[in-house]
Amino acid sequence: MKSRITELLEIKYPVIQGGMAWVAEHHLAAAVSEAGGLGIIGAASAPAEVVREEIRKARELTEKPIGVNIMLMNPNAPEVVKVVIEEGVKVVTTGAGNPARYMKDFKAAGIKVIPVVASVAMAKLMERAGADAVVAEGMESGGHIGSETTMCLVPQVVNAVNIPVIAAGGIGDGRGVAAAFLLGAEAVQMGTRFIVAKESIVHPNYKEKVIKAKDIDSEITGTSTGHPVRQIRNQMTREYLRLEKEGAGLEELEYLTLGSLRKAVIEGDTVNGTLMAGQIAGLVSKEQSCLEIIEELMQEAEAVMKRGYEAWAK
Ligand code: TUI
């Protein structure tokens, strides 16, 4: 499966790993890149020097290209941008904001910039600002999300821009990959399935929650604050949603979630932790290596494309 994205990023398979906060560290990123996809280090809210260390550690594990995701709500984002440029990173994805102010510096450093967008308007803006591609991310995704579904967003973004589009949100197997290509995408970005990868450092309790999750087990918190976040339902989300219903203020809500993602990923606290995951968690059923995940994904995608074509042509 060749596309403008595999050419642009010089990768074997059109699969990009999501820049998941706490989860997307150097072991996972290196394993995804080694398997032929594009591994991503998620800078999230980490201090810039921690991001620098992560980049260097990933490079000890693989010579393949690795990207960095910059979470633009992080007040440290300008320092992270500096580190990414200094370390000679070749690909950056951005999330939760508009990266236009950094575009000139990225381009001058020869960095390929792939903003994650949740609307057609943002995709057009990013193309005009000089983005090399966009990730069109539907609200099926885990973590911070927009309001549109992948099924509706991807073809509309494909129609609106000339740069290649990467589909994200709700993709967890080869059928999802094939569907994304049929909608006009030229690669996929996956997060949830990589949470449970063998090389993922996520606590086994969290992985088990993802593996056991059913289709209806995620919840969106933070709608009232303008920062909707999809995660697996637990005591924390019940409490959060109750507070939101009662009209709690930002401070009280933020206090509840302070450090909660770390609690889930590192300590395995599935009661008070934030278990970010997409709706596709219901389809994720086992721990596999990144190589197994990506190769299975590609074989399935090819098989369903063939089957689909034969059924169509009958
Ligand atoms: O960024 C993500 N997913 C994330 S970031 C994150 S860290 C976090 N933790 C706790 C609370 C909030 C965040 C966890 N998951 N995905 C990419 C994404 N970007 N989804 C939606 C957007 C987006 C939204 C608005 C992109 C651009 C945008 O434009 C706003 C503007 O500035 O016009």
* Residue nearest ligand 1's atom 14 by CA: 143
**Pocket of ligand 1 contains residue 44 by CB under 6 Å:** yes
Residues 250-259 have pLDDT tens digits of: 999 999 999 9
**Pocket of ligand 1 contains residue 145 by CB under 6 Å:** yes
* Residue nearest ligand 1's atom 1 by CA: 95
**Pocket of ligand 1 contains residue 114 by CB under 6 Å:** no
The Cα–Cα gap between 177 and 3 comes to 13
**Pocket of ligand 1 contains residue 118 by CB under 6 Å:** yes
Helix-helix angle 290-313:174-182, to 10 degrees: 50
The Cα–Cα gap between 275 and 230 comes to 9
Query: What pTM was computed for the model?
Result: 0.97
The pLDDT, as a whole number, for residue 314 is 83
The Cα–Cα gap between 120 and 128 comes to 12
Q: Measured in angstroms, how far is the CA atom of residue 305 from the centroid of ligand 1?
A: 32
**Pocket of ligand 1 contains residue 168 by CB under 6 Å:** no
The pLDDT, as a whole number, for residue 68 is 98
Q: Measured in angstroms, how far is the CA atom of residue 74 from the centroid of ligand 1?
A: 10
Q: Measured in angstroms, how far is the CA atom of residue 233 from the centroid of ligand 1?
A: 20
* Residue nearest ligand 1's atom 3 by CA: 144
* Residue nearest ligand 1's atom 31 by CA: 97
The Cα–Cα gap between 36 and 38 comes to 7
What the chain holds in terms of domains, given with CATH numbers, is 4-200 (3.20.20.70), 214-276 (no CATH)
Residues 158-193 have pLDDT tens digits of: 999 999 999 999 999 999 999 999 999 999 999 999
Q: Which residues of the chain have pLDDT under 70?
A: none
102: tokens are 């950094």
